[in-house]
Amino acid sequence: MENLPQKLLNLILGQLIERPTPHQYRDTTEWRDNIRYLCQARLVCQQWNSLATPHLFRNIVLAYTENKTQAWDQILDSEVVQHARSVYIRTSPPDDYPNGDWGEIAYEPYQSLLESIKRIEELENIETLYLRFSRHCRGSETFASEVEGSRDRQQVLENLFPAMHNRRQVERNRPIRSLTIENLQNLPLPHFTSSNLFKDVMKDVDHLHLMVVEEYDDDGPDWHMHCVERRIFEPYLHREWLTPFSNHLVSLTLYFHDFWGVIPGAFDGKGLALPLIKTLTLGNYVIGRHRQFDWVLNQKSLTSLRMDKCAIVSYIIFPAGEQWQRYELSTHDWDECPASSFDTQENDAVFSFTRTWETVFDDIRSNLPRLSDFRFHCESPDTFFPVRPETLFATLHKMRYCVFDGRWMILAGQDMVGVRMPSDGQFEVNRAEETEAGDDRALKALLEEIRMR
């Protein structure tokens, strides 16, 4: 190996470490295994050490810890950190307090983390930034246990974006091109996103990945459907996060933890032009309007479309006594069903939506001429992995239709997606089975067209 050119040896050593995923950052054991071989390679000789070290410190982590942030501060004081190309910031402990209990978090370490965030302006070569908040948050109307509050999250952003801004004022620094925010709270921050600081930082970002989280509520998942954030955030996302920067986005990922796009908020992408977009990834997106998907079909530069756990709503049921009119929803694309349809209560408002995946797949094939990669899947982990497209495939999964009955429902693990019909016959609505032949034909035609391309 002494006869290998140094450039080739450098490429070989770089293969000893896999590109980290957010999951590996959370799992200390897996992350340690990931870097073990590279650490061993550094011990071979001085040449290997000098070549392996930049790979080892290519990705660095700033995480909340009760031991403050001494390790982060120490590494930033070392010259080796200038090799870093990506930074992962985690504001919550590794287990994220699964029960939502944020009461144990110590004030002093959290303030230390906020101060340390500012030091990313010292990193000259970072191009990728990944920020992960806690899975649990509290809205303005929710009654939740102690969780990572909206003010705490806002403070993180208010420390992070000035540091990003200060970096770009230094000519030798690389611009941050990729920004990922996991568990972004669905709480509009209009003063922040309308500021010149926010706009100045986002001018450089052409790879944007957002995972949006809804409020955590002790009373269960039904209640937060009525929260004001669920109604107003999606238009705000469209208006403040996407439209001002749409002309230079190359890759865009939009995930929500819960179904989104139709009820109670609405996202139709109307007027959203992404002239340079190559890769679009949608997670948990629900289609409930005939023209709702047009914003995707209008992106003619798309080469890769990934749809993870996306569905079409087949039936919409607003239980009696529920003031669904406060959602301010238009019902012009829905067919109203007779009273007591599907064994519902007499005063329930029941609608059906007739669109199928067959028409969506055909529209994708006809309207996206450059598409050469399509994923349609529903079995990826319940975690946000924007950098792991290999976890998605193109299969006609049975969870591609859903029902809204006061909350979003998919009967996971069963063939039936729908609700029980009246007692005369006691048969079940199975929208996925009803549309299987047409959906399957259209999906196969789309995949064949992509293979030909």
Classify residue 253 by burial, with Cβ atoms within 10 Å: 0-12, 13-18, 19+. buried
Residues 104, 42 share a domain: no
Please report whether residue 288 resides in a domain: no
Least reliable range by pLDDT among 18-32, 254-268, 276-290: 18-32
Q: Which pLDDT does position 358 carry in this prediction?
A: 94
Please report whether residue 254 resides in a domain: no
Give CA separation, 429 vs 42, 285, 316, in Å: 61, 22, 13
Please report whether residue 213 resides in a domain: yes
Residue 312 CA to residue 357 CA, distance in Å, equals: 7
- Domains of the chain: total: 3
Q: Which pLDDT does position 59 carry in this prediction?
A: 78
Q: Would you give the end-to-end CA distance of the chain in angstroms?
A: 42
Output 23 or 199, whichever has higher pLDDT. Answer: 199
Residues 74, 51 share a domain: no
Residues 324, 203 share a domain: no
Residue 301 CA to residue 118 CA, distance in Å, equals: 37
Residues 244, 383 share a domain: no
Q: What percent of the chain has pLDDT over 90?
A: 24
Please report whether residue 442 resides in a domain: yes
Predicted confidence band of residue 125 (pLDDT cuts 50, 70, 90): confident
pLDDT in tens, 435-447: 889 999 999 999 9
Is 403 strand, coil or helix? strand
pLDDT value at 103 more than 60: no
pLDDT value at 398 more than 50: yes
Domain that holds residue 355: 309-453
Residues 52, 62 share a domain: no
Residues 217, 70 share a domain: yes
Q: What are the backbone dihedrals phi and psi of residue 110, each rounded to the nearest 5 degrees, phi first?
A: -65, -40
Q: Which pLDDT does position 264 carry in this prediction?
A: 83
Q: Which pLDDT does position 344 carry in this prediction?
A: 64
Question: SS3 helix, strand, coil % of the chain, rounded to 5?
Answer: 35, 20, 45
Residues 209, 91 share a domain: yes
Residues 77, 39 share a domain: no
Residue 283 CA to residue 386 CA, distance in Å, equals: 10
Residues 65, 43 share a domain: no
pLDDT value at 134 more than 70: yes
Q: Which pLDDT does position 95 carry in this prediction?
A: 57
Residues 203, 171 share a domain: yes
pLDDT in tens, 377-395: 876 655 665 545 555 678 8
Q: Which pLDDT does position 417 carry in this prediction?
A: 40
pLDDT value at 423 more than 60: no
Residues 183, 139 share a domain: yes
Residues 202, 192 share a domain: yes
Q: Which pLDDT does position 351 carry in this prediction?
A: 83
